[in-house]
Amino acid sequence: MKKRNLFLLAVIALVLITSVAFAGGQQEGGAAATDGPKVIGFSQCDSQQAWRWAETESVQNEAKVRGYELKYNDAQAVQANQIAAVRSFIAQGVDGIVLAPQVMTGFGPVLQEAKDAGIPVVLVDRLVAENEDLYFTFIGSDFVWEGERMGEIVAEETGGKARIAELQGTPGADPTIDRKKGFENIINTYPDMNIILSQTGDFNRTKGKEVMEAFLKAEGENIDVVYCHNDDMAIGAIQAIKEYGKVPGKDILVYSIDGIKDAFQAMVDGDLNAVVECTPLLGPQAYDALEAAWRGETLPKWVMSEDGIFLQKDAASVIASRKY
Ligand code: AHR
């Protein structure tokens, strides 16, 4: 073979090897495969609740364990901040994004941008109402199940007769929608169980207290039960009930969802009657999912968390083992 042809062959081989290696890098490393540690962007929707602190800690600690570099953003309960954070992660060329969305709608365009950039997005704890192709998987609890279990507990503990005040979570978030739905699925089968008041406390302790104060002012003598979509609001409601001059857990029964340490303490103290768990310890599963995405694997679109049910009588024996 002539020297010129040999040179041409060498150039073609080099181009081929380079492009195969580049394609492999794209698949394995998401957007920006490098030799350094994987870079993950974590967008947390809010940091005003104990449950969210536990989730953030889980995601941060597991990043350290796996040697990832974590970029963290707290959207402070403003969806526009969260969209901007995800956009900035994309611009920085992260290898993966973990997103705990504030609400179900409005994330479509930014998820499409992540997809176009080849960056896998794992949703944690809350789902979005967007095309499933726009995210890799959702890791979180079954909120309808949680609401239904709570409805059964309240029915059991009140003999199927209760005037209920409901403290809802953030409007438009799936735990709010589904915990309400699940609870109503059960109580609507009892003619004497009725929701007489229902308002959002935004999953927040301070707002939960304020809304409970307003409920008590309006109907203080007619509330048998307060059903709270999360523990933080229940802790606020308990405070409001005490300040109103009633005994939480007895005069007004209090029920909530999550299972944070403060809720277990409230059960031990007799202020809270039962908790349905919703685990925030999602860091390890979120990274398992991203690693699967980088390997080019697929996962089910919903990896469901396993949660438990805790009655007041169980709390004392369990509280020491609670991890959040
Ligand atoms: O999406 C999970 C829910 O959102 C948790 O119950 C709550 O505390 C949080 O803000």
pLDDT tens per residue across span 78-114: 999 999 999 999 999 999 999 999 999 999 999 999 9
Confidence of residue 72 (pLDDT cuts 50, 70, 90): very high
CA distance 303 to 312: 29
The rounded mean pLDDT for the chain is 92
Q: Residue 291 above 50 pLDDT?
A: yes
CA distance 202 to 171: 7
More confident residue, 185 or 19: 185
Tens digits of residue pLDDT in 152-177: 999 999 999 999 999 999 999 999 99
Looking at residue 23, what is its pLDDT?
35
Asked whether 143 lines ligand 1 (CB < 6 A), one says no
Residue 272 CA to ligand 1 centre (angstroms): 18
Confidence of residue 252 (pLDDT cuts 50, 70, 90): very high
Asked whether 102 lines ligand 1 (CB < 6 A), one says no
State both tokens at 269. Answer: 């103290």
Q: Which residues contact 138 (CB under 8 A, 6 or more apart)?
A: 122, 123, 124, 127, 301, 302, 303
Confidence of residue 282 (pLDDT cuts 50, 70, 90): very high
What is the tally of helices (H) and strands (E) in the chain?
11, 12
Confidence of residue 238 (pLDDT cuts 50, 70, 90): very high
Asked whether 200 lines ligand 1 (CB < 6 A), one says no
Asked whether 305 lines ligand 1 (CB < 6 A), one says no
Asked if 95 and 35 count as a contact pair (C-beta separation under 8 A), the reply is no
Instruction: Choose one of 49, 178, 202 to mutate for the ligand 1 pocket test, by most ligand atoms within 8 angstroms of C-beta.
Output: 49
Q: Which residue blocks in 171-307 are alpha helix, DSSP H?
A: 174-187, 205-219, 231-244, 261-268, 283-294
Burial of 312 (0-12, 13-18, 19+ CB in 10 A): buried
Q: Residue 60 above 70 pLDDT?
A: yes
State both tokens at 164. Answer: 């209920």
Helix (H) or strand (E) holding 42: strand 39-44
Helix (H) or strand (E) holding 228: strand 225-228
Looking at residue 12, what is its pLDDT?
45
Burial of 61 (0-12, 13-18, 19+ CB in 10 A): middle
Instruction: Please state the rounded mean pLDDT for residues 258-272.
Output: 98
More confident residue, 140 or 28: 140
Q: Residue 14 above 60 pLDDT?
A: no
Looking at residue 5, what is its pLDDT?
52
| Type of residue at 260 | I
The structure tokens 């909530």 sit at: 256
End-to-end CA distance of the chain: 72
